[in-house]
Amino acid sequence: MAELSKITTLTLKQKKEQGQPITVLTAYDYPGAQLVDEAGIDIILVGDSLAMTVLGHPNTVSVTMDEMLHHCKAVARGASRAFLVGDMPFMSYQINRDEAVRNAGRFIQEAGMEAVKLEGGREVLSTVQAIVQAGIPVMGHIGLTPQSATKLGGYKVQGKTAQAARQLLDDALALQQAGCFSIVLEAVPAPVAQAISQQLTIPTIGIGAGPGCDGQVLVFHDVLGLFDRFTPKFVKQYGQLRQPILDALTAYRQEVEAGLFPTEAHSFAIDEEELEIFLYGGQA
């Protein structure tokens, strides 16, 4: 495959203007980032979903800034073309604007990200504006916002009434005005997401929001069938790799236990004379 140009916020804007779909996947480590980058994906999101898919937490609110930065650094070392977005974790931007800007800056300065993502609508406008004014691109996220799922009454579709849909549109327009370069729409009825996308000049990235968004995002482990705790309705598995991996690991254990691995083919030799000296000190 011919080498592709580095993705930037300008690239993403042009894709929307030209009607070219934007592709987004999460990644959480060096080999994952390499694979996603080599596949030609436009944006790599180091999502706070790593709390569940990588760290084993029951939800996304448990992941810390230090954990996010650790994984972002690994992803930045593995990707060269994709645009890199770090997900600001719970309580890293809610306390006050100064702390939000400081934490956003750490994603750029320390972790090699090129933008940050944060959840919320009009209630986070001043925070978004402050981060953007500091020179850091911001991706918004509205609809189902997992960090505040408890407040929303659980992991439910958002914007199902005319009033709720209007609130989402108002949030999206406000985030655009505040300076966001794109907005994630999660678990939003497809017609609502399409209408919002058509009224914005910045790209929308859908997850469970239908085909009318400007781009789509899924979680790395969901796409590959590696996360089996639950599978959201909006997920399509393009591979079912969990069982083949489990089969390979089981085969390894069985061969070691049966004395079938390692064989001579997997071992290193030593000169016979050197071995004799080692074993017997050169004595006949």
pLDDT digits (tens, 9 = 90+) for 217-241: 999 999 999 998 878 889 999 999 9
Q: What stretch of H or E contains 140?
A: strand 138-143
Mean pLDDT, rounded, for 80-91: 98
Q: With bands split at pLDDT 50, 70 and 90, how would you rate the model's confidence at 1?
A: very low
Tell me the two tokens of residue 93: 């931007």
Domain assignment present for 3: no
What CATH number is given to the structural domain containing 119? 3.20.20.60
pLDDT digits (tens, 9 = 90+) for 125-141: 999 999 999 999 999 99
Question: Which residues are identified as catalytic?
Answer: 186
Asked whether the beta carbons of 103 and 93 are under 8 A apart, the reply is yes
Whether the per-residue pLDDT at 252 is higher than 80: the answer is: yes
Tell me, what's the pLDDT at 149?
Answer: 63
38 and 54 together in one domain: yes
Name, in order, each residue with C-beta under 8 angstroms of 55's C-beta and a sequence gap of 6 or more. Answer: 62, 63, 67
pLDDT of res. 18: 98
Regarding whether 43 and 92 lie in a shared domain, the answer is: yes
C-alpha of 220 from chain center: 7
Q: What is the widest separation between alpha-carbon atoms in the chain?
A: 94
- Number of domains the chain is built from: 2
What average pLDDT is seen over the chain?
95
Domain that holds residue 97: 9-239
CB-CB contact of 218 with 207 (8 Å): yes
Do residues 106 and 193 share a domain?
A: yes
Give the tens place of pLDDT for each residue, 45-85.
999 999 999 999 999 999 999 999 999 999 999 999 999 99
The per-residue pLDDT for range 23-51, each reduced to its tens digit, is 999 999 999 999 999 999 999 999 999 99
